[in-house]
């Protein structure tokens, strides 16, 4: 009989060799510049991650962008904003286009700068000089002026919350020409200059009356503009009713602290609002944000509101693909590096949700929609755990996230499947891809070696690698049967469904971005 070890090794020799080192020092495959930039755009929050600083991320984005044409930069800026709901990276890409004086800048600006926060982000990044210029320049300045002139009063009020720069700073910087007396009064009010009170919109007039203690009737302004006032429970109740859906989700504990939920009717109103499908859709809620709200809810939070957060999470997971009839395996990475915060560490703005929470959430969601799914948590080996598909998504996600620790070997689940000689159709990894164990000096990664063995048994099998951190390498090279995508929005679920059902071609994720219509 032929030497089994010899011919087993031949599989690896037919596979592409690794060509880079990942942040953990392991051998890996480098993404193409387009794919790498997409990875940063969909996962990078310009904060410190387990393996990378914010400064390193920004440097890599700026360096990689030099290899990318303007058209793809514009499409990526739009895609990361509209599909990924990212904030910082789309503004960075937009600032790069502005510095290049690109013909695609204006169309990207119109879709990326869709609220005041994004306007202030863009101005801050340009003024920092990191993308090549410190002044806005004539065309960016005109677009900022146009945004200010066309914004509704409510949009301007929402934009007025926040600093560095504040909306007043932006107005002073670009000097928009008011279209009428009302707008002239609003701009003057924003920057602290004398204004005609009677020309102001009624909502700002009412706000000025409350500030001066003349009235106790709270106007419909962002609640952050009212929190410096001494307010009673009835006023806080009105604030709660006027909050947007995202603000309501974020400030449940604040409303609880001000006794708003002592009123059973208000409890039911908030619960109904939180689980409202249309509100969830319009807010572009990330599933992990609802997990965060659920985890952050105080023990005293009324049960109907806690239940509503779970209902809202189920709605936010509506993009989870139905892969019934397929043998699905999900492999959440539970190694030590996955304990880091998914959006990175930033002073005063650090999320409580870790990478491992997101990995657990994706796994539990796939199990809920596809009850026959096999879940194989891994670190340096597969961790034995039993999950019940009938349990809630949050219950299973919490069980997975409670494992944690150990080194990283992305090949471990595939090795386990090969030892079991398992039949599979779709294998899904959720990881930071920082595999460093079983690290060969040359040749293919162990992940690719083990995947090649699986393919011998299952020729039509698909491997999907979801990377939730801003790094530019992978353990499995893109191919007709391998998809690498980045991000932690529900957009990844749509792409899983498309790829599993053979509806994405060879270029995969980059092709999806390239199809954005400008």
Least confident of 64-78, 283-297, 445-459: 283-297
Separation between Cα atoms, residue 415 and residue 378, nearest integer Å: 11
Given a cut of 60, whether residue 459 has pLDDT beyond it is: yes
323-514 fold: Rossmann fold (3.40.50)
Among the listed residues 502, 497, 444, 495, the one whose alpha carbon sits nearest the alpha carbon of residue 474: 444
**Can you give the residue ranges of every domain in the chain?**
69-221, 232-316, 323-514
User: Which residues are within 8 A (CB) of 340 and not within 5 positions of it... i.e. 6 or more apart?
Assistant: 49, 50, 354, 355, 432, 469
8 Å CB contact between 206 and 219 = yes
Supply the pTM of this predicted model.
0.90
For 61, the token pair is: 């984005």
Separation between Cα atoms, residue 494 and residue 398, nearest integer Å: 24
Given a cut of 80, whether residue 51 has pLDDT beyond it is: no
Structure confidence by residue, pLDDT tens digits, 399-454: 988 887 889 999 999 999 999 999 999 999 999 988 988 877 778 999 999 999 99
Burial label for 299, CB within 10 Å (0-12, 13-18, 19+), is: exposed
pLDDT band at 515 (very low <50, low <70, confident <90, very high): very high
DSSP 371-401: TT-EE--BSSSBPP----TTS-HHHHHHHHH
Mean pLDDT of 476-482: 92
pLDDT band at 212 (very low <50, low <70, confident <90, very high): confident
Alpha helices for 411-465 (secondary structure H): 412-420, 446-457
Burial label for 217, CB within 10 Å (0-12, 13-18, 19+), is: exposed
User: Which residues are within 8 A (CB) of 119 and not within 5 positions of it... i.e. 6 or more apart?
Assistant: 113, 144, 147, 159, 167, 170
Indicate the DSSP class of residue 439. -
Place of tokens 């004539």: 138
User: Which residues are within 8 A (CB) of 271 and not within 5 positions of it... i.e. 6 or more apart?
Assistant: 302, 304, 305, 307, 308
Separation between Cα atoms, residue 345 and residue 348, nearest integer Å: 9
Given a cut of 50, whether residue 196 has pLDDT beyond it is: yes
Place of tokens 């019940």: 388
For 285-333, strand residue ranges (E) read: 328-332
For 325, the token pair is: 């009839």
Among the listed residues 128, 25, 54, the one whose alpha carbon sits nearest the alpha carbon of residue 350: 54
Place of tokens 């529900």: 490
SS3 content of the chain, % helix, strand, coil (to 5): 50, 10, 40
User: Phi then psi for 68, rounded to 5 degrees?
Assistant: -110, 140
Antiparallel, parallel or unpaired: β 426-431 and 462-467: parallel
């Amino acid at each position: 009989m032929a030497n089994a070890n010899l011919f087993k090794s031949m599989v690896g020799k037919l596979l592409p060799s690794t060509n880079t080192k990942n942040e953990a020092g392991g051998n890996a495959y480098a993404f193409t510049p387009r794919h790498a930039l997409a990875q940063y755009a969909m996962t990078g929050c310009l904060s410190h991650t387990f393996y990378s600083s914010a400064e390193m991320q920004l440097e890599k984005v700026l360096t990689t962008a030099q290899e990318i044409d303007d058209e793809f930069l514009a499409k990526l800026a739009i895609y990361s904003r509209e599909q990924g709901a990212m904030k910082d990276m789309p503004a960075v890409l937009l600032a790069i286009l502005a510095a290049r004086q690109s013909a695609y800048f204006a169309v990207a600006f119109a879709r990326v700068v869709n609220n005041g926060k994004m306007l202030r982000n863009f101005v801050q990044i340009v003024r920092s000089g990191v993308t090549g210029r410190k002044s806005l320049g004539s065309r960016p300045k005109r677009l900022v002026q146009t945004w200010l002139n066309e914004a509704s009063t409510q949009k301007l009020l929402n934009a007025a919350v926040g600093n560095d720069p504040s909306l007043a700073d932006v107005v002073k910087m670009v000097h928009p020409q008011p279209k009428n007396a009302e707008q002239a009064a609003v701009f003057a009010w924003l920057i602290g200059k004398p204004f005609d009170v009677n020309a102001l919109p009624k909502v700002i007039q009412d706000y000025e009356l409350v500030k001066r203690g003349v009235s106790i009737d709270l106007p419909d302004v962002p609640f952050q503009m009212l929190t410096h006032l001494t307010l009673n429970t009835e006023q806080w109740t009105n604030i709660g009713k006027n909050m947007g859906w995202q603000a309501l989700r974020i400030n449940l504990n604040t409303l609880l602290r001000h006794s708003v939920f002592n009123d059973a009717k208000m409890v039911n109103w908030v619960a109904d609002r939180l689980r409202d499908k249309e509100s969830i859709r319009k807010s572009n809620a990330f599933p992990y944000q609802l997990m965060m709200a659920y985890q952050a809810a105080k023990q005293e939070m009324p049960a109907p509101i806690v239940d509503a957060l779970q209902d809202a999470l189920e709605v936010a997971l509506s993009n989870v693909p139905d892969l019934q009839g397929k043998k699905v395996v999900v492999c959440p990475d539970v190694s030590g590096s996955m304990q880091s915060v998914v959006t990175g560490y930033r002073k005063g703005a650090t999320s409580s949700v870790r990478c491992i929470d997101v990995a657990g959430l994706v796994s539990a969601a796939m199990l809920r929609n596809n009850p026959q799914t096999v879940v194989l948590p891994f670190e340096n080996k597969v961790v034995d755990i039993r999950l019940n598909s009938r349990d809630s998504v949050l219950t299973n996600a919490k069980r997975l996230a409670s494992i944690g620790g150990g080194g990283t070997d992305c090949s471990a689940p595939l090795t386990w499947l090969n030892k079991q000689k398992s039949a599979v159709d779709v294998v899904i990894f959720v990881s930071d891809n920082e595999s460093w164990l079983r690290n060969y000096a040359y040749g293919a990664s162990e992940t690719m070696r083990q995947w090649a063995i699986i393919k011998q048994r299952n020729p039509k099998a698909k491997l999907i690698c979801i990377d939730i951190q801003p790094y530019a390498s992978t353990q499995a090279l893109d191919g007709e049967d391998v998809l690498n995508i980045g991000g932690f929005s529900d957009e990844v679920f749509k792409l899983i469904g498309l790829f599993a059902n053979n509806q994405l071609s060879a270029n995969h994720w980059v092709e999806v971005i390239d199809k954005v219509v400008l």
